[in-house]
Structure 1
Amino acid sequence: MKMRIFGGTGRSVGEVGLGTWQLGGGWGNVTEEAARETMRAAVDAGTTVFDTADVYGDGRSESLIGRFLKDTRAPIYVATKLGRFGSPGWPGNFTRDAIRTHTEASLKRLGVEAIDLTQLHCIPFDVLKRGDVFDHLRELKQEGKIRDFGVSVESMEEALFCAQQPGVAALQIIFNVLRQKPVHVLFAEARRRRIALLVRLPLASGLLGGKMTKATTFAADDHRNFNRDGKMFNVGETFGGLPFTKGVDLAEALKSFVPAGMTLPEMALRWCLDFEAVSVIIPGARNPEQARGNARASDLPPLSPALHAQLGDFYLREVEPHIRGPY
């Protein structure tokens, strides 16, 4: 796997990481054995970044990673997140004491002395703008409990604000063929400030996996059954920021752009990797086959400039007008 420098940290990481929400839960059941085999397959394929969060499976994802770390000598860079799990809840999770408590809990579950990267987990913009959460993270870094800190954001407005805060080492963003705004708004600033970019949802929650249809349903314990209000998902509700049926149609249309010898998900992952500002993509995987498939994107040739132009035009013409919510 090809390596990239993780922003101003200077650390070299494999450009295809592993998102581990699905190992904790929320995407259908994954057994501990399957989770361990998936992590092992990812590492064997060259992955060195695991992204997790304390809320994934109420700590299960972090605990699984912690047990895996005890059994491997591979240099795993663990990025976790806090702010959306446990007592006291919103907005109490963003006080100094709560951030410290949740950090200590993550340290225990991961079984490490210091967390490589702690990220604020999509917390309200008004909380970010107060600024004290960054002071709390700087204090934890000074104490050696975390090595670096960053923010997982929903919108580019949030990303640009966070990029200006002293000490922010990384931003986690939504970026894929159906969400191209960071190219025009964030990438130049992130490179200028040497901020690492972790790309989540490079396959748009599965839309770019090439298998969804308008008849697709999800397991009862899959978070995609629910919209933002906790109501049952149904056709017409938003899915990855798009109406579900529109998203399926767009993914189907994208198949006509796939180069010979590639699949839609391979093209989608390769597309993300073609941007130098991207430090690592963190697609999820529920089994070893998916982990190895994701990692293979690193070995694929870059997409042609002509194809990039076509996909950019497709986004502006067919996708952008339908995106809903903050972005």
Structure 2
Amino acid sequence: MQKRRLGQDGPMIGAVALGTMNFVGAYGPADPEESLRCMAACLEMGVDHFDTSNVYGMGRAEELLSRFLKDHGDRVVLASKCGITRNPDHPFDNSPTHMRQSLDASLKRLGVEHIHLYYLHRHEAARPIEEIMETLLKFRDEGKIGAIGLSEIAPSTLERAAAVGPVAAVQSEYSLWTRQPELGILQGCARHDAALVAFSPIARGVLSDTLPEPKELGDGDIRLRIPRFNGENWPRNLIRLRAFREYAHDNGHSPATLAIAWVLSRGPHVIALPGSRSIAHMQENAHGGTITLTSQQLEEIERILPVGWAHGPRYGEELSKGPEGYC
């Protein structure tokens, strides 16, 4: 497993991390014991950066993770987030009071006194990022967090935030079917010596051997709210996805392995953040952190999945509230 630095002065971690959103049913029913076994296996693969949030399962993901951290916390570089309320009338709250309450609650649920990397999960548009950075810097100075992260922000927000204090990481969706970070965030992170933590590098599971069938997705599966999976767009997307799967197999890899390797090829500051509770899937993902693609392979992948190939936006109206738009 390649090692990459998590921010300016941060620790060296595996280039592939573990996301925990689907530990609590974001992609269908989840078995806690399966998730715990997956976490243990991940450490043995070199996956040592675990990412969660206070709103994943309304705190249940952090509670589950605390069971693992009791015995393995010294081997895990931990990240969590705040800023989303799940209140439809006030979905985002970046006030100092709410952020502090969220942090203290996360620390209690996780059973720790310190979170290595703490993200602003969504930027409340009416509140200046400079004010929010001051709040996060207080948490850092108090020793409750080690470094500051920002999630789903525009490059301009990163510029303003970095002028106040160091930003160790920016988390954005980035994969072969969502390449918006190439319009400024990828470059901005490199400029400010911040890690770009690419979530959904397997593209909601579509860059894998088992292509999902939207009609068979269970209630609560987040993909039901994503236009790329609707009846009009999905059949068109399948054509290129099958071609990518064939190319991966021709090169002796699973599509997931190749997709992870592609994300990591985007720059030495990029960290891939797939979410899985399956040991077998995480083995494929982790393998992507052990290979380097040739220029010829990169060119062929670009031919099969060129920029902008996916039909439909990455989010529908509901999910698009919160991520900052740019370009």
Normalising by structure 2, what TM-score? 0.86
1:291 aligns with 2:290: no
What is the CA distance between 1:189 and its match in structure 2?
A: 2.8
Aligned partners of 2:314, 2:156: CA distance in 1, in Å?
A: 15
Instruction: Within 5 Å, give how 1:37-48 maps onto structure 2.
Output: 37-48=37-48
What is the CA distance between 1:6 and its match in structure 2?
A: 1.4
The AA in structure 1 aligned to 2:81 is K
Q: 2:293 aligns with which of 303, 307, 316?
A: 303
1:255 aligns with 2:245: yes
Aligned partners of 1:317, 1:222: CA distance in 2, in Å?
A: 26
What is the CA distance between 1:308 and its match in structure 2?
A: 1.5
SS in structure 2 of the partner of residue 207 of structure 1: coil
Aligned partners of 1:158, 1:253: CA distance in 2, in Å?
A: 37
Structure 1 residues 279 and 260: CA distance shift in structure 2, 3 A = closer
Aligned partners of 2:307, 2:119: CA distance in 1, in Å?
A: 34
Alignment partner, residue 135 of structure 1: 134
Q: Which segment is superposed worse, 14-23 or 310-319?
A: 310-319
Question: Contact 1:187–1:277 (CA<8 Å) still a contact in 2?
Answer: no
The AA in structure 1 aligned to 2:281 is Q
The AA in structure 2 aligned to 1:247 is N
Structure 1 residues 114 and 177: CA distance shift in structure 2, 3 A = same
Instruction: Within 5 Å, give how 1:11-90 maps onto structure 2.
Output: 11-72=11-72, 74-85=74-85, 90=90
Aligned partners of 2:5, 2:277: CA distance in 1, in Å?
A: 27
SS in structure 1 of the partner of residue 46 of structure 2: coil
Q: Which consecutive residues of structure 2, in runs of 5 or more, have no partner in the other structure?
A: 316-324
Aligned residue pairs total: 315
Q: Which segment is superposed worse, 12-21 or 307-316?
A: 307-316
What is the CA distance between 1:163 and its match in structure 2?
A: 5.0
Aligned partners of 2:35, 2:101: CA distance in 1, in Å?
A: 27
Q: Which segment is superposed worse, 211-220 or 187-196?
A: 211-220
Instruction: Within 5 Å, give how 1:273-288 maps onto structure 2.
Output: 273-288=264-279
Identity %: 27
Alignment partner, residue 235 of structure 1: 231
Aligned partners of 1:156, 1:254: CA distance in 2, in Å?
A: 30
Instruction: Within 5 Å, give how 1:171-182 maps onto structure 2.
Output: 171-182=170-181
Aligned partners of 1:166, 1:84: CA distance in 2, in Å?
A: 22
CA offset digits 1:19-76 (Å, max 9, x no partner)? 1001122211222211110111111111110011111111011111111110225520
Structure 1 residues 61 and 304: CA distance shift in structure 2, 3 A = same
Normalising by structure 1, what TM-score? 0.86
CA offset digits 1:191-227 (Å, max 9, x no partner)? 2211111110001101111322556521123222335
Aligned partners of 1:95, 1:317: CA distance in 2, in Å?
A: 38
SS in structure 2 of the partner of residue 81 of structure 1: strand
Give the RMSD, CA atoms, in angstroms: 2.7
CA offset digits 1:106-137 (Å, max 9, x no partner)? 0001111111111111334x246453222211
Question: Contact 1:5–1:279 (CA<8 Å) still a contact in 2?
Answer: no
Alignment partner, residue 240 of structure 1: none
The AA in structure 1 aligned to 2:66 is G
Question: Contact 2:173–2:200 (CA<8 Å) still a contact in 1?
Answer: yes
Q: 2:261 aligns with which of 261, 264, 270?
A: 270
Aligned partners of 2:307, 2:95: CA distance in 1, in Å?
A: 43
Q: Which segment is superposed worse, 283-292 or 271-280?
A: 271-280
What is the CA distance between 1:279 and its match in structure 2?
A: 3.7
Instruction: Within 5 Å, give how 1:148-159 maps onto structure 2.
Output: 148-153=147-152, 158=157
Q: Which consecutive residues of structure 1, in runs of 5 or more, have no partner in the other structure?
A: 237-242
Structure 1 residues 57 and 92: CA distance shift in structure 2, 3 A = closer
